[in-house]
Structure 1
Amino acid sequence: MSMVLFASVVRVRDGLPLSASTDFEQSKGVQEVKKYLKVLSKKLGQLPDRCTLKGVQYNIHFISSLGLGYMMICSENYPNVLAFCFLDELQREFITLYDTMRINIAVRPYSFIEFDNFIQKTKQRYNNPRSLSTKINLADMQTEIKLRPAHQLTMLDVGTVNGSVNAHAAPYKGIAPNQRLEPVTLPGIISCLLCVLCAALNLIRGFHAMENMFQCYLLVCCSGWRNLKSFLMLGLVCLCNLYLHELRNTWQILFHVTVAAFATLQTRMRQPQGKAPDYNV
C-alpha cells in the first residue's frame, strides 16, 4: 500500500530532533529504516537541500531550509511529487508556528512534539490522495522536480557496510545540546549564599576566597567531573583552614569547613536532568 509512514523535523546544525510522528505501532522494517534517517539527520548540513534515499525497503525523502530539515519515510511506490509536497507543507507550517530564536535555543529532543498533531493530520490527507485539494501545488512541485531533481543518495552517503549502519563511519562534527542540571533547591540556594559569605570573609586571603566561589560555580553550572572537582575543593578548604588554624578559633574553622561540606553535598545531589522521553518515535 502506498503511504507516508513516518515524518520528523530536525535542526540542521546538530541533527537535534524537534518533532516527529508519535506512532505506537510500526513494523520492524520501519524501525530499521529509522536508523538510516537518524544518520542522515546528522549530515544534513553536508548534503543538498532536497534528497532521496532508495533501496532500504522504504524510501527516505528530505528537504532542508533555514536551518531546519524535514524528513520522511514512505513506501517504495509512493510518488515523489506527493512526498515533496508533503514535506513542503510541513515546512511552511512549522516556520509559521515557531519563532527562530526558540528553535535555536532548544536543547532537549522533541521540544516541539505538539507539532505532531499537524503531522498526523497531513499524513492522513497524503495517505488518501483523492482527498487532496492541492492539485495546483502538485503541478507546481512536479515542474520544480523536473527542473531541479532531488539528489539521489546511496548507502555510502549513509555510511553502511553490507546494508547495516557502519558504526565507524566518518564522525559528524556537530554541536551537541548542552546538558542542563535539575532546578536548584532551597538548600542549594542557602549553600550558595553561605559560600559567597565565606568568600567575602576570606577576601583578603585571595586563593582561599576563590575556593568558595568555585564551589558556587560547581553548584550552579554543569561541567565535566563535577563531583571530583567538588570533593577536591572541599579538601582544599580543609587544608587552608588547617594552615590558618593559628589565626582562627575552633568555631570559625568549623563554620568554614561545614559550609564547604554542605556545598559539596548539594553539588553531589544536584544531578543533570534525565534524558527526554522518546515519545515512541
Structure 2
Amino acid sequence: MVKLTIVGRVRDALPLAKGTRYLNDEEDDDDLFSQRKQQAEFILNEISTGSLPSSKMTIRLHSHSFNYIVEDGVCFITLCESSYPTRLAFHFLQDLQKELLGKLDRTLIHKVSKPYTFLKMEGMIGNIRKRYIDTRTQSNLSKLNADRGQEPKVETDYMYAIVERRHRLEALKKKALMTSSRVVTASDSPLLELIALKWMPITLVIFGAVVLVWSNLILSIL
C-alpha cells in the first residue's frame, strides 16, 4: 500500500505538499515516520542536484520502495511496501500528477518559498490514494492486466548506494576545499603582504648600494 507521499519542486528541492501519514501498527512511531520523510526529501534533493534521473525511478529500501516521477519541474514521490505492484505505484503517481497540476496554479508553484505551503493538497492526495489501497479492485486489476507483458522502463537503485555516493562526493568536496585553502599566494595573505611592504624598501636600498659599489670598483680598475 501507499504509505507516504511528497510533492516537491525540482529546481531547489523545496517540498510543496505531503500526504496524510499512513503506517501500520508495527511501524506506528514518530521516529520512523520522520526518518521516511527525511529520506523522501533526500531523494528530492538528489534529483534537484542532478545526481538522480529527472524522469522516474524506483529506489529499494529494505522491505519498501520509493517510486517517483517528474513532470513540469515538479516531483511526485511515494513510499510503498515492496510487495505492492510497482505498476500501480506509478499509476498512482500519474493520477496524482494530472490531478494536482491540473488544479493548481503553476505560476504559484514556482513562486512559493516556504516548505509544504500547499496544505490543501493533503486532501487531494488522500482521495487519490483511496483508489489504490485495494489492489484487487476491478479498476486496479484492469490497469495491471493492461500492463501485463510490458515491463516498465524504470531505473532501479538502492537507497544505501545513493547515500554512499553522496557521502563520497561530500568527502571529495571537503578534501578539495582543504587543499585549495592551503595554497596561499602573497596577494591572498595579509601577513605575507605586510612582510613584503616592510622589507621591500630595505631590499631596494641594499641592492642599490651593491650596484654602486660594484660600479665604482669597475671604474677604478679601468
Tell me, yes or no, whether TM beats 0.5: yes
For 1:108, the aligned partner's letter is K
Amino-acid identity (%):
25
Structure-2 residue corresponding to 1:267: none
Distance change >3 Å, CA 155–CA 99, structure 1 → 2: same
Structure 1 residues 101 and 22: alpha-carbon distance in aligned structure 2, compared to 1, 3 A threshold: same
Look up the SS of the partner of 2:59 in the other structure: strand
Supply the distance in 2 between the matched residues of 1:95 and 1:127 (Cα, whole angstroms): 22
Is 2:41 aligned against 1:35? no
Which residue pairs with 2:131 in the alignment?
Answer: 125
Q: Does 1:114 align with 2:112?
A: no
2:13 pairs with 9, 15, 20, which one? Answer: 15
Instruction: Determine whether 1:50 maps to 2:56.
Output: yes
| Letter in structure 1 aligned against 2:39 | Y
CA apart distance, 1:143: 6.4
| Alignment partner of 1:71 is 2:74 | no
Q: TM-score, with normalisation over the residues of structure 1?
A: 0.51
Offset, 1:138 = 4.2
Unaligned 5+ runs, structure 2:
173-222
How many residue pairs match? The answer is 164
Structure 1 residues 141 and 71: alpha-carbon distance in aligned structure 2, compared to 1, 3 A threshold: farther
SS at match of 2:12: coil
In structure 2, give the amino acid aligned to 1:36.
Q
One-letter code of the match for 2:46? K
Q: Is the 8 A contact 1:84 1:141 kept in 2?
A: no
| Distance of 2:124 and 2:92 partners within structure 1 | 11
Alpha-carbon offset, residue 158 of structure 1: 3.0
SS in 1 for 2:131: helix
Query: In the alignment, does 2:153 pair up with 1:155?
Result: no
- In 2: Cα distance, 1:118 partner to 1:150 partner: 26
Q: Does 1:86 align with 2:92?
A: yes
| Unaligned runs of at least 5 residues, structure 1 | 172-281
Counterpart CA distance in 2 for 1:138 and 1:11 is: 30
The answer to whether the Cα contact below 8 Å between 2:9 and 2:16 also exists between their aligned partners in 1 is: yes
Contact 1:52 1:153 survives alignment (8 Å): yes
Asked if the contact 1:20/1:110 (under 8 Å) is kept, the reply is yes
Q: State the one-letter code of the partner of 2:118.
A: F
8 Å Cα contact 2:3/2:22 also seen in 1: no
Query: CA–CA distance in 2 between the matches of 1:149 and 1:84?
Result: 11
Distance in 1 (alpha carbons) for counterparts of 2:103 and 2:168:
36
Q: Compared with structure 1, are the counterparts of its residues 35 and 169 closer, same or farther at alpha carbon in structure 2 (3 Å cutoff)?
A: farther
Per the TM alignment, residue 30 of structure 1 is displaced from its structure 2 partner at its CA by 4.1
SS of corresponding position for 2:70: strand
Contact 1:36 1:158 in 2 (8 A): no
How far apart, in 1, do the equivalents of 2:146 and 2:171 lie?
A: 37
Q: Deviations over 1:93-114 (max 9, x none)?
A: 0110112211110111112120
The match for 2:106 is 100
Do the aligned residues in 2 keep the contact of 1:29 with 1:57 (CA within 8 Å)? no
Q: Which amino acid aligns with 1:23?
A: R
Q: Indicate conservation of the 8 Å contact 1:85/1:141, yes or no.
A: no
